[in-house]
Structure 1
Amino acid sequence: MLHLLQPAVCRALASSSRTFSTTAARRALQNNNRASSSKLKPLLWTTAIAATGLLAWQSTSAIQLDAEPAQADETIDPASGIAFPNTLKIQSKAPLPTYELIGAGVRTVSFLGIRVYSIGFYADLNNPKLNISKSATPEEKIEHIIKNSSCVLRIVPTRSTSFSHLRDGFIRAIQARLVLAKKKNTLTADEELAVQSPLRKFKSMFPNTPLAKGQELDILLAPRELSQQRSLIVRDLGSVQSDWLAHEFFLAYFEGDGLSPPLKKAVVAKLTDFGN
């Protein structure tokens, strides 16, 4: 049934891509004058989509996605007081699933434990492609969810920062994943070469503009399309298509103690009894 729906989904996304043309930099500057919470106003999403085998998605196009305001049912990150809705619905002409909050935690840096942002990990846990044994380890469950389901990372700065500052942290995490993959011999030389272009595009998407305290930034791992590389979409900034980059960006938050140990701990607790 899924393969029958693909053309319609592609056409819908392509159609929605023509409805939005405002630049990411302008939106980022405008956001500094708006309220920092999404409880009052919906968020605008745009993405640049690469070509598909079923329908040409122009890389310069964009789709508009509107995140609904947070619901009353929320989870509070105790370290920052930032609230995350327990369910997240992103509106687009190509319907996306309802995402369930699996865990939230704070990201700290330096030996002083400076809090940079709180982060919530969401996934489509009702995806029929998920076939997880309850006896699997938490790490196995996390990897299976990321590689087989659409996911969202919601990042909320605890202090004023910038897109470029976040970008630098993301790139360091991805570079560490590259080193680890080569050490484990899970990445061939050809695969490493192939990921360089989407990695450069990902790095170039982030403007040198401020990101206010409390302003939400959502990063979406799009649903898998037939015969397509998965899209990693950064709200308002664009997207890249690369299975390796999309998966490893999310997995970086859960390697070892994770980039946010409190997030990893919360996700492990949530998934302990999850599975068949």
Structure 2
Amino acid sequence: MFQFAAFRTFRSSCRGFSVSATRCRSYGQSSHALRSSLRPFLWGSAIAASAVTALQSAIHLDAEVPEPVNEIADPATSISFPKTLRIPSKTPLPTFTLVGVGVRTVSFLGIKVYSVGFYADLDNPKLNIPKTASPDEKIEHIVRNSACVFRIIPTRSTSYGHLRDGFMRAIQARLLLCKQRGQLTPDEENGVQSPLRKFKSMFPNIPLAKHTPLDILVTAPDQSQPRNLIVRDLGSVQNDWLAREFVLAYFEGDGISPPLVERVTDNDE
């Protein structure tokens, strides 16, 4: 652009002269002057082009720096779970930390039904996990004293009804086990029947698509009211025993998902 403007000015200045040797000499002298006057601009353009090239190289290198990993994949299914989880709610909820992941399998064929991630409010200042406790005791302490979440992600298309039936079997087994251990009073057993029926009724008889997350939340203990067992987008039920034992059923013995139990235990700090 600078070359074209200077040349146009030069042509205008030459039109007032006659065609003669003087014009040619003037042209030659002016051409030399023009080249001299443009030299700084040409050098500046070259420097600017080099700077742009260098900047582009720097940006290209920066773009190749790997992003920090913020997810953990279930090795059995390759389904990923975020390391931290925030659930939208009208009532403020804490940020949940991923404690472990695992796969749920059924039948002797080992069919993979869903991957599950277990989250807890580990930043709760009231949690105070005993450092000398065993891994099992620490898990129970977390479940009894903080809000928890299971994120369930089907490995294949399933249905809410299928998941509901599995949950109900686990809860019924938990009822029987607590009775055998003397950990369930007759009043508690009677009091949980209505919440159980409500919980069962919350699941619609419709499909649940492959890789669609289903979040099940247990609220933190509250002296003013029973804990809530919430199935996201489906409903909630209030009962301390049901909320607590639903979570603990996943960690009794081998649990509903043995790999989940193993990884949560290994994550003991």
TM-score under structure 1 length normalisation: 0.72
| Identical positions, percent | 68
Give the distance between the partners of 2:213 and 2:196, measured in 1 at CA.
Answer: 23
Greater share of residues in helix: 2
Per-residue deviation, 1:72? 5.3
| Aligned-partner residue type, residue 201 of structure 1 | K
Give the distance between the partners of 2:108 and 2:126, measured in 1 at CA.
Answer: 41
Give the distance between the partners of 1:242 and 1:93, measured in 2 at CA.
Answer: 21
Per-residue deviation, 1:135? 1.7
Per-residue deviation, 1:190? 1.4
Could you say which residue in structure 1 is the equivalent of 2:93? 96
Give the distance between the partners of 1:148 and 1:115, measured in 2 at CA.
Answer: 31
Say whether residues 1:254 and 2:242 are aligned partners: no
Give the distance between the partners of 2:221 and 2:187, measured in 1 at CA.
Answer: 23
SS across alignment from 1:266 = helix
Per-residue deviation, 1:83? 0.3
Deviations 1:118-137 (A, max 9, x none): 00000000111212222211
Measured at CA, do residues 93 and 205 of structure 1 come closer, stay the same or move farther in structure 2, by a change above 3 Å? closer
Looking at CA atoms only, which structure, 1 or 2, has the larger radius of gyration? Answer: 2
When the two structures are aligned, how many residues end up with a matched partner? 202
Could you say which residue in structure 1 is the equivalent of 2:190? 193
1:174-189 aligned at under 5 Å gives the runs: 174-189=171-186
Conservation of the 8 A alpha-carbon contact between 1:72 and 1:85: no
1:125-144 aligned at under 5 Å gives the runs: 125-144=122-141
Give the distance between the partners of 2:142 and 2:251, measured in 1 at CA.
Answer: 12
TM-score under structure 2 length normalisation: 0.73
Structure 2: give runs of 5+ residues left out of the alignment: 1-67
Say whether residues 1:116 and 2:122 are aligned partners: no
SS across alignment from 2:85 = strand
Give the distance between the partners of 2:207 and 2:146, measured in 1 at CA.
Answer: 31
Structure 1: give runs of 5+ residues left out of the alignment: 1-70
Give the distance between the partners of 1:130 and 1:182, measured in 2 at CA.
Answer: 28
Per-residue deviation, 1:226? 3.0
Could you say which residue in structure 2 is the equivalent of 1:6? none
Alignment RMSD: 1.1
Say whether residues 1:220 and 2:217 are aligned partners: yes
Which stretches of structure 1, 4 residues or more, deviate above 4 A after TM superposition?
none
